[in-house]
Structure 1
Amino acid sequence: MTELTEAQLRRVAEAKTEHGSDRAAAKALGMPRDTFRYQIKRAAEKGFLGYKPVLPGFEVKETSVQRDAAGNTQKEWVKQHRESGPAFAMPEGQKLKELSAFVNGEGRIRHQWIKTKEDVTKSDLVAALTGVFERYKGRARVVPAPRRIERNLLSVYPIADPHIGMLSWKPQTGADYDLRIATRRLLDKAGEIVAKAPRSREALIANLGDWYHANDQRNVTPKSKHQLDVDGRWFKVLEAGVEVFVRIIDLALAKHELVEVVTIPGNHDPEAACALALALKMFYARNKRVTIAFPADIYYRRFGATLLGCAHGDKAPPARLAMAMAVDQRKAWGETAYHWLLYGHIHKDKLDTIGDVRVESFSTIADKDNHAAGGAWRSAQALQVITLDKKTGPDSRDFVNIPPPDMR
């Protein structure tokens, strides 16, 4: 902005003295009120309004009063300085490198010394994912549709918290777990559970969150910033997670005519889960037998007499999830006899009944990390398939168990 001349500053100061209010002074000078306010603050800084409190653009710092014996004011001193600026906000696309700040008692900035640098994590992520997605686009191989199917059945494959990319060391946690173990175990057990499922016409693969152990290459939980033990570079983990999911979908396509995939963001992988869903959507872009659902925090699906929902479970307790289903799906709720909500997060099989809603959590295939081992969290490990009948609701259930570490 061009520096104001002394004549301009004197002019706005005289208008302020003559007209009193900013509105009247600005009108008399024929300038916008915001322009006048800016100029009158600069005039105050230069002393054109004298030194009586409180000048435009200034605030009182300190006052002192001298009184006589009768309590009458003899002298008065007022110290004022430029008003504090707004609360500091990090500029978009930057992250903090160094910061020193001097603030007043209300936490408002008086002076600050800030060094920022470009947040390359996001830009690197976008560039890397764009390359990965372009390579995947429309590359899904054609899997022949099964010839014999049960048209009135839907098989649901809940996959909770596999934490792909987690690193666990047996001497510390009781079992080794890394990228190779996670992907191999998940694919092996998925093959076994798909083989056990009936030939339902439809299948739902429900990733209930925390597919990935880490959300990005910083290797901390996004909200709490807990340090994570991670195996391998993050883009390597991201790609491995996409590839194993693709192979699981292909297994389901060989058994079921239509396959829907929902990916729920977890507390470990809120953005990575969205990247996973986008990669899968690109990969199966030309396959009409596969539907990749939008990666929302809560997902709903109606199948005949059953209304089901999916969530990760970190944002709401079971009772609130059941209530959300009733409110969000009023019409489907009233038209269905069976209500079922699936979630993960707690790494164990647990069933609550809220009214007539079955609110069910599922165990993980992952072994414990150091945090879980030290906190004495223990549970069985398994994959399940639950099959629904259009008329009678939940119809059958099969398990594939993972033996404890000392029995493998």
Structure 2
Amino acid sequence: MARQYDPRLREFADAREISFLEAIEKHGKPTHAAKALGLHHSVVIRALDNLERRAAKMGYSPAHDMTHTVPDGFRVKGTSTLYDEDGKPRMQWVKSTVDHDRMEVIMREAAAAMAESLPRVRPVAVPAKTDAALCNVYTLTDSHVGMLASAKETLDADWDLKIAERTLTAAFCHMVNAAPKASVGMVAQLGDWLHSDGSGGLLPITPQHGHVLDQDGRFSKIVSTSIRILRRIVDFALERHDKVVVLLAEGNHDMASSIWLRAMFAALYENEPRVQVIDSALPYYVYQHGKTMLAFHHGHMKKNSDLPLLFASQFPKVWGDTTKRYCSTGHRHHVEEKEHSGMTVIQHPTLAARDAYAARGGWLSERSATAITYHSQYGQVARNTVVPEMFEAA
């Protein structure tokens, strides 16, 4: 007897799976459908098995009395069904949770659509004279724009949207002015740029674990401030460098927001040939400057000691073409620098104040940001550091 497929599976199918279902309707059996499509029957059967599993995750599996589906971006976490004495379902409870993989796809599609209507930045004049051998990397990590912190509560410093905007903008401008006149300037935003991700119905919670965060204002206000800061930073870098490389890395606080930030800035500077936005879904990033390899990761997925081997494995061509290799990370809010086999891993601190959670946990770190200058042949050749006290209002 030919295997039957529920017509409602079309609601959960992609174009390829729909073509398989239509072929089965026309030819009767999966084997006959596969032959008509020029495929082995196992390809069709496996694809439709995956479709049935995916539909079940969204709450649809009639064979198991599951017919209550959940919205796109969610998956069924569990069902509880009450049956009567005749074995018929009388009541059913459906528990759902966010499907993070599907939500990421939705975010990417939304960001791409939003970017289509953005006004593009016009090209600006190239700076007079720069050193082609140099690349300045301006690292800002764990900035937590939108965080609310009180010095009275943390015994550290205040932090809110206004302070974040003033501190981050001033710190970046100071680093650029103090650094050598390099041809390449890299805005290395290493993740956790936003304190909260706007997930959970725009609630101030962490994306993965749902921890409640201290947030300064509504998410829409945080987004507008965040974009304004980054725009100023990139525009200022363009005034001083022939080429500006923009990295907007994924952090554990802004896993979704990093997606639309990358899409937005790639669209904004689409007509500016001197801006390169690194657009990678993988949270491991590289940029090659001559014989110098510059690698980046927020630090939330791998230990520092594991990063050299990971980057060598994932980017073997860049690794093989370079003799000086550096990896920058953040996440832990304090300084650590260590040479490993073939690569130096630099863990950067943050300019942001600590919040109540960090204060109650007893975590302390010196606040600063560092610009590092790399030579195309010799690797790291200069540094300059800023601290937030340099930009406090008089």
Alignment-derived partner of residue 394 in structure 1: 380
Displacement of 1:125 in angstroms is: 8.0
- Stretches of structure 1 that go unaligned for 5 or more consecutive residues are 1-30, 34-82, 105-109
Say whether residues 1:147 and 2:128 are aligned partners: yes
Unaligned runs of 5+ in 2: 1-27, 31-61, 84-88
Task: Give the structure 2 partner of residue 208 of structure 1.
Answer: 190
The whole-number CA distance in structure 2 between the counterparts of 1:118 and 1:361 is: 32
2:147 is aligned to 166
Return the match for 1:85 from 44, 64, 88. 64
Of structures 1 and 2, the one with the larger relative CO (CA 8 A, separation 6+) is 2
Correspondence 1:126-137 to 2 at 5 A: 133=115, 136-137=118-119
1:353-379 Cα distance to aligned partner (Å, 9 max, x none) = 211310111011100111111111111
Q: Percent identity?
A: 28
Residue 339 and residue 97 in structure 1: after superposition, are their counterparts in 2 closer, same or farther (change >3 A)? closer
Residues 197 and 206, structure 2, Cα contact 8 Å, conserved in 1: yes
> How many Å separate the matches in 1 of 2:184 and 2:383?
15
- TM-score, normalised via structure 1 length: 0.70
CA distance in 2, matches of 1:332, 1:129: 29
Compute the displacement of 1:32 (Å).
7.1
The corresponding residue for 1:239 is: 224
Alignment match of 1:278 (pick from 246, 254, 263)? 263
Residue 158 (structure 2) aligns with:
176
After superposition, give the CA deviation of every residue in 1:194-226 in whole Å (9 maximum; x if it has no partner). Answer: 101111011111111100000111211111111
Aligned to 2:174: 192
Secondary structure of the residue that 1:358 maps to in structure 2? strand
2:80 maps to: 101
- The RMSD of aligned alpha carbons is 3.6
Deviation at 1:101, TM superposition (A): 2.5
Q: Is the 8 A contact 1:163 1:211 kept in 2?
A: yes
Q: 1:263 aligns with which of 211, 232, 248?
A: 248
Cα deviation 1:234-278 (Å, max 9, x = unaligned): 122112111110100111111101001011110000110111111
Contact 1:208 1:312 in 2 (8 A): yes
Q: Distance in 1 between matches of 2:108 and 2:321?
A: 43
Q: Does the aligned pair in 2 maintain the 1:381–1:403 contact within 8 Å?
A: no
Alignment of 1:7-406 (within 5 A): 85=64, 91-93=70-72, 101-102=80-81, 112-114=92-94, 133=115, 136-138=118-120, 140-174=121-155, 175-216=157-198, 217-295=202-280, 296-403=282-389
After TM superposition, the score normalised by the length of structure 2 is 0.73
Larger radius of gyration: 1
> Deviations 1:103-136 (Å, cap 9, x if unpaired)?
89xxxxx8623488999x99x9899968974664
Q: How many pairs are equivalent?
A: 322
Q: Which has the higher helix share?
A: 2
| SS at 2:170 equivalent | helix
Q: CA deviation at 1:405?
A: 12
Structure with greater strand share of residues = 1
Letter in 2 for 1:155: N
SS state of the match for residue 239, structure 2? Answer: helix
